[in-house]
Every structure is written in C-alpha cells, then in structure tokens.
C-alpha cells in the first residue's frame, strides 16, 4: 500500500458489445495502487465512433496521479500515503507542502532549504501595490485574488517558461510564497489600512496572520494557539485530488498556459458556493437561520426540490461516510474558541444543533450527506477576526500548494496532452443562412 507505482500493464479487460453492429471491443482495465480500477477508453472513439458521456465527471478519471488518495466510503484522505489526521496532528503546512510537491517528507536539511526558498519569495513586486489601487475599495477579495494572481505573469517574466524545470520551480515557490502576502494585501485594501510587508523569521501561518492583523502604529504579538489553528486549517485545505478547481488548473495548464494564469483560473473555480465558496455560504446560512427554533423550517426547505436552498457545508461528491477534514476542523473550532475565551458562541451551538438534526433526518441519511470541511471552518475564521469575504481566500492560499503539485505532475507526465473533452450534440442539424428580411 505504501509504495507508489506507475499504473500496471493491463491484464484485465472489460468487453463492450455494440448491440447495433454486434461488434465487440476489449477495453483494458488498469489498476492503481489502491482504489477503484479504471476502464481505459482512450481508443474507444477511434475503434467504435462512440464517445463516453459523463457530465460532472462522476465516473471519469481524468489523469494518473500519485499525490492524493480519497476513499469516500471509508472517509479516508491520504497525501502521498499519509493520513490527513496524522499530518494535521504532527506536521506543519510547510512540511505538507514539501510532501505534496516532492513525494516524500523532507529531511531536516531539505526542510530548512525549502523554508528558505519559500521565504525568499514572500515579498511582491512593489508595483503590485499600485495595481491594487485599480480595484474598488468594496471589491470582493476573491475578485482581487483572481486579478492580482493572474497579473503575476505580467511581473515575473523570468518564470513563465513551463518547459524549463528551473523556471517551473521558481514559479512554484513564488506562488506558494506570495499567496499569503497578496491575500493579506486584499484584506488590508478592503479595510483601508496600509499594506504590511512580510517578516521572514515568522512561520508561514504566523506571517500571514501578522500581515493581515498588524498595523504599523501598534506592536503585534502572534498568538501561538491561533497560529497553530491557522496552520492546521492550511493543512486541511492543501490538496484534494481532482476537485473542480484542481481540474481547472490542470485543464488550463494542459494548453501550456503559464502557472500564474493557471492558478488564477483555479481561484476563479474555487470561488463558487458549491466548492470553496461554501465556507462563506455556511456563515450566511447560519445567519439566515438565526435561531435553533428555525432549524426545522430550513431542513424542510433543503429537502424541497422546488426550493434552491441547500444546507451549505453539507454533502460531498466523494465522501459518502464522513469528511475526515471536518472532524479535525470541529475539534480545532472548540480549541480556538477556548483560547479566545469564547464561552458561548451562538453560531457554534446553532451549527452543532443543525448537524445533529440533519444527521438524524432520513433525507440526509439516505443520501449520505455529512458535514464537509467547510461546515466548521467559517466559525473558526470568524472567531479569529476574518470577515466572511476572506474565508475562501484562505482556502485559496492553502490549495495553491495542491494546485501547483498537480500542475507540476501534469507537466512532467510524458503522456500529457491538451485536455479536450467532446460532447453529445443535441442542437440543430445543418441548416442554411437566411437574410434577416426572410426570417419569420
């Protein structure tokens, strides 16, 4: 189980019979190291003239990967073989970043060098602060992130050549290092406060909290419990195999686009409420519910197919048992509130009651809908002092590591091709153009 391997040469096959032509075709079955095997349909169109049809990719593997493994039925999440609970408990975000990027945990020397490489790149080009001023003061920080991260490709011309391994590495370091700086700048800009330069003696999480919450007029003291909680939150969001934003990064990168543009595309995809935007949506929903006595009404609405309301922070495409990240997050939530001396947080009480009622409800039980990573993260972040508009930004900081690792893996894969799905066309068949005067 621990040894990664390249997908084995296929010995098993699936046989496809076309009942129209009575022809059969052998489709190789490829085994991974763990998890479901895949039916290799790459030659299907050439041999039969058929495409496969799978909107939402519910049964489609889009790539071979050695980075992250999820068993949704078991509630298992492994990064390079290591369970997320162990990483969240014993590791730190920089070490997890190294692991995701390089495949193994670092030695002490490797770790020191990696941290030095990352911290060397924490500052952003000074002209970027001018770029910020083009945004409206009330711009959503995710809009700012999409724009500014995309714009990095206009500032760092010496790391755009994706065919040069050294430039790929520098671009990766730059993105991981600069994301917290840019995110903190987005926050400061919205607050009308001066940007704070990074301080490289601080850890990744500490530095981010410092750039976000320090002001030049006051001394700033990092709270180690909150820094640890921030670091853990980054670990829990670092990667999640081929989710929507990661697939977006891979697809954008498959055309040879530069890494800064690809990560900007990932940020855009993450923003949606069905994905990373759910953490912001959870708090909005808890606010809307307002009181425990209103929970049954909202549960009823979530079950009503004619109502667009869904329980945000509930359900997952892959996890059909529990989301292991949500369990760590729930524990962390209690720790953070304890540290901050919050004896009674009505939102947490409301969230726990909502979870309890939903998990006893037949609708949620039958559909295997459990709280996901976003359900409790918003409560932690709010307690730390982040406005809800920053929640998905924090997700983006952490996921940048996963995006980069997946992008790098794709670029280094010799079988890599431009991503180009096909379709089931159901529009008009060929028809002739009519001048406007002849259209009825």
Nearest distance, CB of residue 58 and ligand CMC, angstroms: 7
- Tokens in use for 189? 């800009």
For residues 239 and 79, the answer to whether their CB atoms sit within 8 Å is: yes
Nearest distance, CB of residue 28 and ligand CMC, angstroms: 28
Nearest distance, CB of residue 365 and ligand CMC, angstroms: 11
Query: x/- binding map, residues 312-341, to ligand CMC, per CB under 6 A?
Result: xxxxxx------------------------
Q: Which DSSP category does 276 fall into? A: T
Task: Give the SS3 label for residue 321.
Answer: coil
**Residues 258-287, interacting with ligand CMC (CB under 6 A):** 274-276, 278
Rule CB under 6 A: say whether 373 interacts with ligand CMC.
yes
Question: How many angstroms separate the Cα of 97 from the Cα of each of 28, 127, 231, 238, 397?
Answer: 35, 28, 11, 8, 12
Rule CB under 6 A: say whether 199 interacts with ligand CMC.
no
Nearest distance, CB of residue 257 and ligand CMC, angstroms: 23
Rule CB under 6 A: say whether 222 interacts with ligand CMC.
no
Residue 211 or 285: which CB sits closer to ligand CMC? 285
Active-site positions read 316, 374
CA dihedral 400→393→380→347, nearest 10 degrees, is -140
Length of the chain: 440
Q: Which of 179, 188, 110 is nearest to 146 (CA)?
A: 179
Among 243, 258, 389, 400, binds ligand CMC (CB under 6 A): 243
Residue 151 or 251: which CB sits closer to ligand CMC? 251
Per DSSP, what are the bridge partners of residue 25?
16
Which residues touch 14 (CB under 8 Å, ≥6 apart)? Answer: 26, 27, 29, 39
Residue 173 or 319: which CB sits closer to ligand CMC? 319
Nearest distance, CB of residue 30 and ligand CMC, angstroms: 24
Number of residues that bind ligand CMC (CB under 6 A): 19
For residue 367, the number of C-alpha atoms closer than 13 Å in the C-beta half-sphere is 15
Among 118, 267, 285, 369, binds ligand CMC (CB under 6 A): 369
Task: Kindly tell me the burial class for residue 133, based on how many C-beta atoms sit within 10 Å of its own C-beta (0-12, 13-18, 19 or more).
Answer: exposed
Query: x/- binding map, residues 349-368, to ligand CMC, per CB under 6 A?
Result: ------------------x-
Compute the distance between CA of residue 384 and CA of residue 340 in angstroms, rounded to an integer. Answer: 8
**Binding site residues, ligand CMC, CB under 6 A:** 243, 274-276, 278, 302, 310-317, 367, 369, 372-374
């Amino acid at each position: 189980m621990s040894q990664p391997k390249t997908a084995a040469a296929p010995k098993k096959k699936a046989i496809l019979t076309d009942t129209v032509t009575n022809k059969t075709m052998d489709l190789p079955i490829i085994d991974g190291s763990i998890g479901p095997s895949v039916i290799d349909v790459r030659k299907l169109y050439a041999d039969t003239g058929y495409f496969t049809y799978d909107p939402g990719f519910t049964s489609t593997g889009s790539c071979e990967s050695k980075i992250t493994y999820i068993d949704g039925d078991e509630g298992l999440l492994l990064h390079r073989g290591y369970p997320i609970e162990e990483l969240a408990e014993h590791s730190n975000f920089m070490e997890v970043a190294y692991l995701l990027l390089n495949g193994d945990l670092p030695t002490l020397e490797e770790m020191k060098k990696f941290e030095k490489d990352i911290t060397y790149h924490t500052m952003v080009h000074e002209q970027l602060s001018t770029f910020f001023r083009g945004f409206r003061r009330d711009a959503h920080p995710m809009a700012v992130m999409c724009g500014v991260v995309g714009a990095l490709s206009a500032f760092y011309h010496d790391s755009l050549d994706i065919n040069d391994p050294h430039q790929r590495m520098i671009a990766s370091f730059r993105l991981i290092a600069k994301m917290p700086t840019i995110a903190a700048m987005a926050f400061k800009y919205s607050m009308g406060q001066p940007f704070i330069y990074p301080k490289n003696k601080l850890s990744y999480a500490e530095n981010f909290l410092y750039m976000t919450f320090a002001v030049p007029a006051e001394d700033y003291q990092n709270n180690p419990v909150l820094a640890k909680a921030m670091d853990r939150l980054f670990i829990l969001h670092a990667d999640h195999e081929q989710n929507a934003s990661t697939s977006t990064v891979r697809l954008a990168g498959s055309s040879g686009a530069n890494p800064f543009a690809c990560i900007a595309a990932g940020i855009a995809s993450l923003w949606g409420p069905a994905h990373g935007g759910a953490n912001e949506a959870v708090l909005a929903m808890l606010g809307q519910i307002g009181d425990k006595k209103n929970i049954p009404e909202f549960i009823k609405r979530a079950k009503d197919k004619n109502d667009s309301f869904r329980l945000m922070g509930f359900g997952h495409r892959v996890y059909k048992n529990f989301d292991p990240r949500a369990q760590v997050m729930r524990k962390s939530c209690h720790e953070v509130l304890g540290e901050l001396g919050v004896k009674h947080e009505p939102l947490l009480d409301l969230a726990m009651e909502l979870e309890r009622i939903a998990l006893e409800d037949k609708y949620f039980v039958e559909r295997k809908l459990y709280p996901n990573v976003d359900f409790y993260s918003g409560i932690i972040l709010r307690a730390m002092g982040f406005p809800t508009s920053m929640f998905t930004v924090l997700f983006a900081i952490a996921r940048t590591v996963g995006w980069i690792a997946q992008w790098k893996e794709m670029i280094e894969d010799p079988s890599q091709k431009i991503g180009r799905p096909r379709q089931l066309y159901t529009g008009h068949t060929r028809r002739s153009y009519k001048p406007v005067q002849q259209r009825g």
